[in-house]
Structure 1
Amino acid sequence: MGADPTGLVGRDRELAELAAFLDEAGTDGAALLLTGDPGVGKTALLDATAELAVAKGMRVIRGSGVEYETDISFAGLHQLVVSLSRELGRLPRSLKETLEVALGLGVGPAPRPIAVLNAALSLFGEVAKEQPLLLVVDDLHVIDHASRSAVAFVARRLGGHRIGLLGTRRAESSGSFRPTGLAELEIAPLDDADALRLLSRRFAHLPRRILLTVAGEAQGNPLALLEFAGSTSASGAPYGGRVGWVSGQGREVRTLYAARVERLPQETRDLLLLAALEGSGDIGVLEAAGGPGLLDGLAPAERDHLVKVAASGRAVRFRHPLVRCAVVDGSTGEQRRGAHRRLADALADQPERRGDHLARATTAPDEVVAAVIESAAQISLRRGDAAGAIMRLRRAAELSPGQIDRRRRRSQAAYVAAWVAGHLEISHEIMREVRGDPAARSLAAAAAAGFLVLVTEGDADTALALLLKTIEQVPFPSGLPHGELETALFTLTLAGEYSGRPEHWEPLAGMLARFPDAPPAAAVSLARIHHDPGGVTDDLLRRLDDEIAQLKGETDADVVIRTALAASYLDRLPACREAVSQVIRDGRDGGAVGASMPGLIFVALDDLYAGRWRASADAAAELIALCEETGYHLFAQVGHYVAAMVAAQRGDLDACRDHCEAIWGWSGPRGLRRMENCAHQAAARAASGAGDFETAFRHATAICTPGTLPLFNPEAVWSAPDLVEAAVRTGRLDEARRHADAVRDADVARLSSRFALTSATITAMTSASEDMPRRFEEALAVPGIEQWPFEVGRAHLAYGETLRRQGLNRDARVQLAAARDRFEQLEARSWEARAAAELRATGMTRTAPGKAGAPLTPQELEVARLAATGLSNPQIASRLFLSPRTVSSHLYRVFPKLGITSRAALRDALEARPPEPPAARP
């Protein structure tokens, strides 16, 4: 067993590489993962490297994966941190408290996973300030997921920190082991010569023929070589009557360990079982579970080199993971359940660990135990461990005596899997169990089933029918809804929101009227905000601002996303940016993937409104790809909407059309009116930029009738500038005025500076000519509008166009130049071309390079000539054997090249063109 690490046989190459690794780690940081079969010598190489690191003046901190702690988040990280109490005390208070709460060393609000990872990196960096640090993590393949993420996180950020991270994992774990991104060094079995050399050095009394037999059976696995030879007599017969070996070194080594464990006193075996199931090796916990005299009871195992007690006497460690496996495998089911019960009693102050041990100790349904495990699941969820919450809720359901409680807990697990964790397969699997349960339908089941069918298939009809029917059967509370009813109402609100159809939102609106005022992130408030943004009270706005201000310390992804959802309707996303970005980062690190998709929506929208269009398009593309990968097809439609709006404002008509058609093709057949309206808004915006106001009016009025702002239709407000401008530019002044009056009467201007600017701009556009300048000046004087650059540019453009038509060219140039410069900064090419054309009409000749004056292609010229004769797009398409959309695209490119903004100017612009050189003629 205990070969001298400095005398390892056949490992010269590996030891040289590890020495070089230590040199790099001690100066600039490095990480390395040793991989190989069980017993191949990974741990021996770890030991040798640790000794060499100490000799080089490095501090060594060790931890290891524990198979029976894989469900306990940060159990592995706890091993690395617990011995650093002095350095932990030197950290800033926020970082110190983050680690203490996450590791169960303190109490307080549950931190975000990313905050725990940053705090751990800071702690290790603090240690490395005094001397280089080597973190050694054995058996990374069985470490809990949260700790594995921490190890990978730290490993990727070691540059310049004088920290080395050295880990091991079994090669056989590759099927379930998620890559960490660490560099790997594969540890291969010894070759025949080295295997014989090792055996000859350790077992010189055995005949060579026996050594050859052992070497052949062990197949170069060092642990198998030593154990097989150590259990063999000089005659070749295995000690203990064992006859021969079977294939599989790990299984054989485990069998040998099992024989050694079996020889121990029963009291020692009982204590070893407690240690194996407890996992951390904490002597305090083991003494509480096993009684006083623990170390005396473990002495036989320690003398047999099966366990090792730390010098401090406060921790016990198994010499090899297979020892732990042998201990557990050699116990009976009742012995394991008894050990788990004793550990649960010893961990009364640690709800999650206590719940886990009770879950394993209990076989028959028990509501008391189920309630404890459910409570532990809620704690897991609040601290960001969605996977742990799902596992615990499912186990609580299994132990629920009542059918209603069993179905409720399973449904909650399915909902968390879909909404927070982003694990649709697990959610579907749990819902199949729920559907097979004969219990009556529950709110939790309806919420989970409705959410699944909504986000995956876009079937709002089924989701709404299911939820409305179930909610109507539940007695309404006298106060605010909570628990299952709150979850069901939130899902119902989402379904009604995406549907956007009166037959769906009218029953919801009636239901909302029965509840009092609620916090902004509650389902009741979210539904009311979506129902009628203009009806939002000043008190609700103040409370929303207060809740947004508290998001910085919020760890519950659900709370962050709900608050940001309310903020998105009321132009308060910038203040939510930090918290939402944390949710997205957690999702990228394997945390709340489900919540990260709405998070990407809010980041993309925030960038869109702020004029960061490249970043907005990138977020939308990431959202679409993630949704297609995970099956959340509904959220992908919002990604297409954001991408379409970016393209519309950039002037990329083809890209905008592609995204709009993707939305219409998927959402139209499913009756998702809300998403159809979003596509019409983007199409109207693109047509307005291209000066095709007839098309813009058609799309804008597909959202709402001029002069009306339907309930549950926020796009009616968002698209108001497109509808009003298109109506004005196509001679529909009455419709334009009615719509501007409707927006002003809705009182949305008090909600945000963007809404105030929009309302003031469309009011100015529809005012009497003598009042227009004053109205535009009022619009551009609205406080806080600089955070909405596109809307500001559009207001300048409308103001300048109005002044030019009134013959005030000098004043018009000021506004048009401001609009042109703003659009140029935003790379809003079609809008920039509109402003430049208006400037030229005032007598100002400066144009952006490559725009006005650019040559027309032969087909563009033909389309322009036919359009100049008064033919419509369908008529032109018929003559040229093109589609009407292609004709529209050609005209969109022709207008800026000719420096015009309408079809009426085509004839004069074509006649004024210089003759084409002969080479350019067909």
Structure 2
Amino acid sequence: MGVGPTGLVGREGELAELAAFLDMAGMNGAALLLTGDPGVGKTALLDATAELAVAKGMRVVRGSGDEYETDISFAGLHQLVGSLPDELGRLPRSAREALEVALGLGAGPAPSQIAVLNAALSLFDGAAKERPLLLVVDDLHALDQASRAAVGFVARRLGGRRIALLGAGRTESDESFRSTGLPELEIAPLGDSDALRLLSRRFAHLPRRVLSTLAHEAQGNPLALLEFAGSAASTGASGGQYGQGVGWASGQGRDVRALYSARVGRLPYRTREVLLLAALEGSGDIGVLEAAIGPDGLDGLAPAERDHLVMVAENGRTVRFRHPLVRSAVVDGSTGEQRRSAHRRLADALGDQPERRGDHLARATTAPDEAVAAVVESAARSSLRRGDADGAIARLRRAAELSPDRTVRRRRLSQAAYVAAWVAGHLEVSHEIMREAEGDPAARSLSAAATAGFLVLVTEGDADTAHALLMEAIEQTPMSPGPPSGELETALFTLTLASQYSGRPEHWQPLSKVLAQLPAAAPAAAGSLGRVHHDLGSVTDGMLRRLDEEIARLKDQSNADVVIRTALTASYLDRLPGCREAVSRVIRDGGAVGLSMPALMFVALDDLYTGRWQPSADAADELIALSEETGYHLFAQVGHYIAAMAAAQRGDLDACRRHCEDIWGWSGPRGLRRLENCAHQAAARAALGAADFETAFRHATAICAPGVLPPFNPEAVWSAPDLVEAAVRTGRRAEARRHADALRDAGVGHLSSRLALSSATVRAMTSAAEDMVRCFEEALALPGVEQWPFEVGRARLAYGEALRRQGLNREARVQLAAALGRFEELGARSWEARAAAELRATGMTRTGRGKAGEALTPQELEVARLAATGLSNPQIASRLFLSPRTVSSHLYRLFPKLGITSRAELRDALEALPAEPSAIRP
């Protein structure tokens, strides 16, 4: 008869493959995806494989997609995790809390998506410790996006774990999951002979001609075969009667669903009531169903169980439908009022899960209701805190639909549009929502102004329109005594962005007046960002402490908006390294595409400042591509700036010029002066590397005049060393001194070691001859400057140049050799050439790196040997009766002589020292 051991007909080959899959997965982990048309038998094979797994001693956990829960993030994962409560309780606290918060089972800071995925993998791994685990996930095509990502993440990391993941999805619907590259087993329809065998086995009492007609109508689809035959058997229809007006080809799911609907319709009312609750609840949680219908209501499931429409798990905790079409038939067979009543009951049962409660309340409500709308808006905020931007957008839109007041409706729509644009990166969705909001004649809200302003700024670079919209809305809003929050904070933040990128007085001066009315706020607040951007020197030590505290908390902060705003403020104050892990999470998670672009900016800037120029250029290129692809053209210009700076410092003048021209060509006509200044900064840096000091001076003074550091122009501070050096090297010493004094008077040295080094270096470059050595030595001895390798190299180059011009060639060689070594390590080719030229001008040449052992003085050699043994600077100082500072100076001098960059290389470098000659020779 061709019947397999599980009772399936014509599936011997598939069952053999699945048995082998279980054996392999039980030892080393594996994943497999069953694909095929609806009703072809995927669910039956999942059931058969689950039975076989139990027989092999495996543990089975099941879940499935639900078309009614596709807008609820992690709804599918909730089913799998809910089946493992004991294992969830044994997870480490951080992993357990990540899952509980993501699934709405607990409260706390929103976890990152990667934390949730890793926690899920740890949970399943723990469940498989005692015996192998089989995860069965039906209807992958109907899973919510977050759960689909979780299933794919787990499936690709099963190697070495005793976990099998078996999924099923429809061929025509599953493209997004199939793109993950999981192994597939396509389930084909049954052949004619197997179809007749199946029918003969189940419906032996039907005439052969009826069975043949049914087999032809069903086209080998097992579900259609059984349901059509069951209908024919119950009605007594002949083959000819059955074939009239009903055909499989007329709609594969439709006719079988009709047959299921008939079976559901014959159930008792109480049973249909429980089934409707189960269909709309989605997870199959018996506890929720019992809370919704009452303690005795679950007895109503019995008739559906007996008719094989649903199955209750052995542990009694979950119920699932035999086939997805059963769930569809249950919902389709209910009235609107019955569905609304079921949703109300579920909302009452889910009081401790705000998002799910809000979803059910929204579906239970047809007329505008502010109380329900407020609950749904609160659920949207909860979604945003969890990092579920798409869920937040959907819930805000639904809250707007339920808002009786048109002004409140418009506010909620505008908030949804803002989240779509700023967080999610869905510009089309944002525009669509704004068109809907614009159709409402209610007065413009702050949220509407913020969204419209943000859209026109990031897509078209129109800072004028953005500024006008926002200032008008803010001026009409009364200021409360405390720090701004909600709509006002969003509007102020967007206004600050518009004023930043504009950089024009007519934009930042009105913003400054608004900021002056605001009290001190958190580092991520718009007011803090605006003040920092307006005047770096005004940042107090107290503000820096609060920022450092906020950065320290970012490791537990998964609200991507807070991460990005904090990093934006930190980027002005050289604190990006502390934000690196948090902003990288925003990029990795992929759930906040809009915020991924600023996150890429900060990663690229961090790499740029710390001398990792190739990674910086790569991140900038990724930023440019993503921004152009998604329509965020403004952010692409920032990518061009970072790429131009990386090219300038590496000496790739052509690449730098191309990026600068892209910025000037796009930003100039739009009056985005700050972006123009950014391009001038990169052009000045490139010209300095090439020793074209006149061109460098021209670009540096395009940013600001010598001796002036205007407000709302941070590039004036960052490019100050470029202007001073270009002025010194072109004989404009008076201008150089004025600018060095302006940087000193700006008081930025206390903000970071990089700014302290820049300020001290320009002071040394413009100092009197008798003070020059002391000033440079003080600059290079500043604590923490080694984390800024390019700036240290520049300082040593300027020091060496100044020494050589005073005829102190021997001392100059030490600094120039150190600068040359730095630039070689960084790959700063043009700067390396400058240092080499200066070194030659001292009458010395440098041979290959790592051959300078004999150039070490006896004391330097002794310091090197002690450092190679692992002694610290204070320990070496104690041994040699020196100060730790002198030891540090010796190490700075000997590293470039040995051609190394760290203490770890000292031992090998000393062992490789030849008897002679030196690496630097006359």
Q: If the length of structure 1 is used for normalisation, what is the TM-score?
A: 0.89
Q: In 2 relative to 1, CA 836–623 (structure 1 residues): closer, same or farther, beyond 3 Å?
A: same
Equivalent of 1:364 in 349, 352, 367: 367
Task: Summarize deviations over 1:17-42 as a string: whole Å, max 9, x none.
Answer: 32332233222222121111111111
* Residue number in structure 2 paired with 1:646: 646
Q: In 2 relative to 1, CA 189–163 (structure 1 residues): closer, same or farther, beyond 3 Å?
A: same
Farther off after superposition, 476-485 or 692-701: 476-485
Report the Cα distance in structure 1 between the residues aligned to 2:20 and 2:709, rounded to whole angstroms.
70
Equivalent of 1:354 in 357, 369, 375: 357
Q: Which amino acid aligns with 2:378?
A: S
Q: Which amino acid aligns with 2:506?
A: E
Equivalent of 2:532 in 519, 525, 529: 529
Any idea what SS the aligned residue of 1:63 has?
strand
Any idea what SS the aligned residue of 2:770 has?
coil
1:203 aligns with 2:233: no
* Residue number in structure 2 paired with 1:325: 328
> Which runs of no fewer than 5 residues in structure 1 stay unpaired?
850-922
Trace 1:430-469 onto structure 2 (pairs within 5 A): 430-469=433-472
**Post-superposition shift, 1:188?**
1.8
Task: Summarize deviations over 1:88-113 as a string: whole Å, max 9, x none.
Answer: 23222211222222223333333222
Farther off after superposition, 707-716 or 88-97: 88-97
Report the Cα distance in structure 2 between the residues aligned to 1:461 and 1:759, rounded to whole angstroms.
35
Q: Which amino acid aligns with 1:427?
A: S
Report the Cα distance in structure 2 between the residues aligned to 1:296 and 1:522, rounded to whole angstroms.
55
1:301 aligns with 2:304: yes
Task: Summarize deviations over 1:534-559 as a string: whole Å, max 9, x none.
Answer: 11111111111111111111121111
> Which runs of no fewer than 5 residues in structure 2 stay unpaired?
850-922
Any idea what SS the aligned residue of 1:33 has?
strand
* Residue number in structure 2 paired with 1:772: 772
Equivalent of 2:257 in 254, 262, 280: 254
Task: Summarize deviations over 1:790-823 as a string: whole Å, max 9, x none.
Answer: 0000001000111111111111110000000000
Question: How many residues are treated as equivalent by the alignment?
Answer: 844
* Residue number in structure 1 paired with 2:761: 761
Trace 1:621-636 onto structure 2 (pairs within 5 A): 621-636=621-636
Trace 1:184-203 onto structure 2 (pairs within 5 A): 184-203=184-203
Farther off after superposition, 167-176 or 353-362: 167-176
Report the Cα distance in structure 2 between the residues aligned to 1:449 and 1:224, rounded to whole angstroms.
52
Is contact 1:836–1:847 with CA below 8 Å preserved after alignment? no
Report the Cα distance in structure 2 between the residues aligned to 1:280 and 1:176, rounded to whole angstroms.
22
Is contact 2:741–2:763 with CA below 8 Å preserved after alignment? yes
Report the Cα distance in structure 1 between the residues aligned to 2:246 and 2:6, rounded to whole angstroms.
30
* Residue number in structure 2 paired with 1:720: 720
* Residue number in structure 1 paired with 2:111: 111
* Residue number in structure 2 paired with 1:883: none
**Post-superposition shift, 1:478?**
1.9
Trace 1:391-540 onto structure 2 (pairs within 5 A): 391-540=394-543
**Post-superposition shift, 1:847?**
5.5
**Post-superposition shift, 1:180?**
3.7
* Residue number in structure 1 paired with 2:885: none
Any idea what SS the aligned residue of 1:6 has?
coil
Trace 1:653-668 onto structure 2 (pairs within 5 A): 653-668=653-668
Report the Cα distance in structure 1 between the residues aligned to 2:183 and 2:372, rounded to whole angstroms.
44
**Post-superposition shift, 1:767?**
0.9
Q: Which amino acid aligns with 2:779?
A: A
Is contact 1:283–1:316 with CA below 8 Å preserved after alignment? yes
Is contact 1:5–1:48 with CA below 8 Å preserved after alignment? no
Is contact 1:586–1:593 with CA below 8 Å preserved after alignment? no
Report the Cα distance in structure 2 between the residues aligned to 1:404 and 1:153, rounded to whole angstroms.
43
Give the superposed CA RMSD: 1.7
Report the Cα distance in structure 2 between the residues aligned to 1:274 and 1:649, rounded to whole angstroms.
65
**Post-superposition shift, 1:243?**
5.1
**Post-superposition shift, 1:313?**
2.6
Report the Cα distance in structure 2 between the residues aligned to 1:240 and 1:383, rounded to whole angstroms.
57
* Residue number in structure 2 paired with 1:708: 708
Report the Cα distance in structure 1 between the residues aligned to 2:799 and 2:703, rounded to whole angstroms.
26
Report the Cα distance in structure 2 between the residues aligned to 1:561 and 1:568, rounded to whole angstroms.
10
Task: Summarize deviations over 1:115-143 as a string: whole Å, max 9, x none.
Answer: 11111111111122222221111111112
Is contact 1:5–1:47 with CA below 8 Å preserved after alignment? no
Report the Cα distance in structure 2 between the residues aligned to 1:432 and 1:326, rounded to whole angstroms.
36
* Residue number in structure 2 paired with 1:212: 212
Q: Which amino acid aligns with 2:306?
A: R
Trace 1:804-883 onto structure 2 (pairs within 5 A): 804-846=804-846
Report the Cα distance in structure 2 between the residues aligned to 1:698 and 1:549, rounded to whole angstroms.
41
Equivalent of 2:565 in 559, 562, 565: 562
Q: In 2 relative to 1, CA 628–512 (structure 1 residues): closer, same or farther, beyond 3 Å?
A: same
Q: If the length of structure 2 is used for normalisation, what is the TM-score?
A: 0.89
Is contact 1:231–1:239 with CA below 8 Å preserved after alignment? no
Is contact 2:573–2:751 with CA below 8 Å preserved after alignment? yes
Report the Cα distance in structure 2 between the residues aligned to 1:406 and 1:242, rounded to whole angstroms.
53
Is contact 2:209–2:239 with CA below 8 Å preserved after alignment? no
Any idea what SS the aligned residue of 1:302 has?
helix
1:747 aligns with 2:747: yes
Is contact 1:221–1:249 with CA below 8 Å preserved after alignment? no
Q: Which amino acid aligns with 2:556?
A: G
Task: Summarize deviations over 1:566-613 as a string: whole Å, max 9, x none.
Answer: 1000000001111111111112xxx11111110110010001111111
Task: Summarize deviations over 1:657-691 as a string: whole Å, max 9, x none.
Answer: 11111111111111111111101100110010001
1:735 aligns with 2:735: yes
Task: Summarize deviations over 1:197-241 as a string: whole Å, max 9, x none.
Answer: 322332233233222211111111110011111221496438999
Q: Which amino acid aligns with 2:274?
A: L
Q: In 2 relative to 1, CA 239–308 (structure 1 residues): closer, same or farther, beyond 3 Å?
A: farther
Task: Summarize deviations over 1:54-79 as a string: whole Å, max 9, x none.
Answer: 33332221111122222222221121
**Post-superposition shift, 1:278?**
1.0
Q: Which amino acid aligns with 1:358?
A: L
Q: Which amino acid aligns with 2:212?
A: L
Report the Cα distance in structure 1 between the residues aligned to 2:115 and 2:716, rounded to whole angstroms.
40
Q: Which amino acid aligns with 2:674?
A: R
Is contact 2:98–2:119 with CA below 8 Å preserved after alignment? yes
Report the Cα distance in structure 2 between the residues aligned to 1:179 and 1:336, rounded to whole angstroms.
36
Report the Cα distance in structure 2 between the residues aligned to 1:107 and 1:482, rounded to whole angstroms.
22
Report the Cα distance in structure 2 between the residues aligned to 1:316 and 1:238, rounded to whole angstroms.
37
**Post-superposition shift, 1:148?**
1.2
Is contact 1:498–1:673 with CA below 8 Å preserved after alignment? yes
**Post-superposition shift, 1:328?**
0.6
Any idea what SS the aligned residue of 1:750 has?
coil
Report the Cα distance in structure 2 between the residues aligned to 1:344 and 1:178, rounded to whole angstroms.
35
* Residue number in structure 2 paired with 1:143: 143
Is contact 1:605–1:642 with CA below 8 Å preserved after alignment? yes
Any idea what SS the aligned residue of 1:148 has?
helix
Report the Cα distance in structure 2 between the residues aligned to 1:75 and 1:314, rounded to whole angstroms.
17
Q: Which amino acid aligns with 1:557?
A: A
Is contact 1:39–1:223 with CA below 8 Å preserved after alignment? yes
Q: Which amino acid aligns with 1:747?
A: G
Report the Cα distance in structure 2 between the residues aligned to 1:64 and 1:239, rounded to whole angstroms.
38
Q: Which amino acid aligns with 1:411?
A: S
**Post-superposition shift, 1:461?**
0.7
Is contact 2:79–2:284 with CA below 8 Å preserved after alignment? no
* Residue number in structure 1 paired with 2:906: none
Q: Which amino acid aligns with 1:19?
A: A
Q: Which amino acid aligns with 1:669?
A: P
Farther off after superposition, 413-422 or 239-248: 239-248
